[in-house]
Amino acid sequence: MDKNKTNRKIKIRPWIQIFFFSLIALISINHILAEGGGGISFLSNASLHALCPFGGVVSLYQYLTVGTMVQKIHESSFVLMVLVLFLSILFGPVFCGWVCPLGSIQEWVGKLGKRLFKRRYNHFIPHRIDRWLRYLRYLVLGWVVYMTAYSGVLMFANIDPYYALFNFWTGDVAIAGLIILGVTLTSSLIVERPWCKYACPYGALLGLTNLFRVFAIKRQESSCIQCNACTRNCPMNIPVDTVKTVRNHQCISCLECTSEASCPIPATVDLKVGGK
């Protein structure tokens, strides 16, 4: 297949990211305007909490045991939770790599970091430290789920950089949330997707689907020329060039390592039905 033709496919991802970022921004701004009697009427009831699939995750315990949802969480969060989980079982964490606005803005800030630091970008933290830091997000996941189940309150909202990103001008955001958002965006200048790598609880949960997803990223060893382009272009620093099938818990299914994006040899790194 012609390389230029396949490259056009992967360029869809930035447009999808822009679409969802713009959509969430519109809904957030409209929700604020609606509270003052303005905004677009058919979007007036939509809110960030209603559109967050992670809200369904943290509310699951209370819903199963009491039959109610955590404060501020809407039924739509459960629907989105199921949809995102289904897609993740099939294709891995596509929500992280293609939809999540916080992940997208980290990438966009990172483009500036690449210009400033060139090859050093995304390689400042020593590997021996980095590999352990990546498990911190599982501790965050455990803490958020436990505290929400214990208190019945959406504890994560006060430190959630996603919520802070789309509400920082309202005065409704906790100082901790603003600080974490600031640290996340600043860190994005030297580390690609730092929140996704080290702290995102939802990314931690969806990352587990990489272990058994139906369609996985596979490398054809017979045609691989060991140019390391797949590994160099992976935003999550996964050594794609050393494995046959990417099962790393940090993969975000962005497909930036594939023959449609960075691998110079057609049909060498592709999304295919699983296997080891």
The pLDDT assigned to 4 comes to 46
Supply the pLDDT for residue 45. 59
C-alpha distance from residue 248 to each of 196, 211, 253, 276 (Å):
14, 7, 11, 12
pLDDT the model gives residue 43: 53
Query: Which residue in this structure is represented by tokens 């449609």?
Result: 260
Give the pLDDT confidence score for residue 74 in this predicted structure: 67
The pLDDT of residue 70 is 63
Can you tell me the distance from the alpha carbon of 167 to that of 29, in angstroms, rounded to the nearest whole number?
A: 8
pLDDT of residue 264: 93
Q: Give pTM, 2 decimals.
A: 0.86
CB 255 within 8 A of CB 233: no
The pLDDT profile of the chain, 276 residues, written as one tens digit per residue, is 344 444 444 589 999 999 999 999 888 887 676 666 665 655 555 566 666 777 666 666 566 666 566 656 667 777 888 899 999 999 999 999 999 999 999 999 999 999 999 989 999 999 899 999 999 999 999 998 888 877 777 778 788 899 899 888 787 888 999 999 999 999 999 999 999 999 999 999 999 999 999 999 999 999 999 999 999 999 999 999 999 999 999 999 999 999 989 999 999 999 998 655
In the chain, domain spans:
3-209
In DSSP terms, which residues pair with 217 in a beta bridge?
271
- One-letter amino acid at 28 equals S
pLDDT for res 3: 44
* Segment 150-178, tens digit of pLDDT: 777 777 878 889 989 988 878 788 899 99
| Measured distance CA(41)–CA(132) in Å, rounded | 47
pLDDT, position 77? 75
Cβ count near 256 (within 10 Å): 20
Which token pair is 131? 């590999």
The per-residue pLDDT for 47 is 63
Sign of CA dihedral 201, 203, 204, 205: positive
Distance CA 251, CA 217 (A): 10
Residue labelled with tokens 């214990």: 150
Looking at residue 95, its pLDDT comes to: 96
For the chain, what is the mean pLDDT? 85
| Cβ atoms of residues 198 and 141 within 8 Å | no
pLDDT at 5: 44
* Residue 209: alpha-carbon gap to chain centroid: 13
61 phi, psi to nearest 5 deg: -60, -50
Task: Extract the runs of DSSP E, i.e. beta strands, from the chain.
Answer: 215-219, 269-273
Tokens at 214, concatenated: 């139906």
User: What local confidence, expressed as pLDDT, does residue 156 receive?
Assistant: 80
DSSP state, 245? B
